[in-house]
Amino acid sequence: MTTETVENNWYAIRVTYNREMKIKREMDARHIETFLPMKYRIRMRGERRIKEKVLAIHNLIFIYTTKQKLQEIKQTTTLPIRYIMDRETKTPITIPNNQMQSFIAVSGSIDEQIIYLEPDITNFKKGDKVRITGGIFKDTEGYFMRIKGDRRVVVCLHGIAAVATTFVHPSLVEKLPQ
């Protein structure tokens, strides 16, 4: 048995037909940790403006469990749970815990200035790997970039998703060795 089947890992799971919340409820019932990136959206209802919490990235849920337990769930549930596969190794993509914690720290803040990016935009040739040293994103690691005129830190789950923080002052950023 490999360590991947015994250790908990973050798995990126593809979900069809907007059933992310159904899968989250099922995982919650099984006491399995999940993460769904959310954001606020303003909607008009008649003359009133309503601020509602909605999914930021559709058809994607992150599940923290062992590969063996996830296989058991896939076999016993009627909900469609499909791994996002690594094209090179032909294995399910697992996300390192520190990278996922940075992603959760940024995308879990539900700030209206956070920007979600397409994964192909984040092939970083430029931009230094950095760590934020203070503020609400303290200890978040990512790439320092200029987006929409502001300096931001982009946290990327390669090939899956990326999220950019709000403006980060350069004094709160330290460069990490490459």
C-alpha to C-alpha distance for 94 and 8, rounded to whole angstroms? 10
Last residue of a domain, one of 39, 72, 95: 95
Q: Is the pLDDT reported for residue 72 higher than 90?
A: yes
Structure tokens at 1: 């048995």
CATH number, domain containing residue 140: 2.30.30
Indicate the residue among 52, 73, 95 that finishes a domain.
Answer: 95
**Residue 121 pLDDT exceeds 70:** no
Q: Kindly state the average pLDDT of the residues 77-98.
A: 88
Confidence at residue 123, expressed as pLDDT on a 0 to 100 scale: 44
- Which pLDDT does position 122 carry in this prediction? 47
The answer to whether residue 3 scores a pLDDT higher than 60 is no
**124 pLDDT higher than 60:** no
Average pLDDT over residues 37-44: 87
CATH number reported for the structural domain that contains residue 64 in this entry: 3.30.70.940
In this prediction the pTM is 0.75
Same domain, 38 and 123: no
Q: Are 34 and 72 found together in one domain?
A: yes
More confident residue, 72 or 86: 72
pLDDT, averaged across the chain: 85
CA 3 vs CA 8, 10, 68, 98, 123: distances in Å: 9, 14, 11, 18, 29
Can you give the residue range of the structural domain that contains 171?
Answer: 104-178
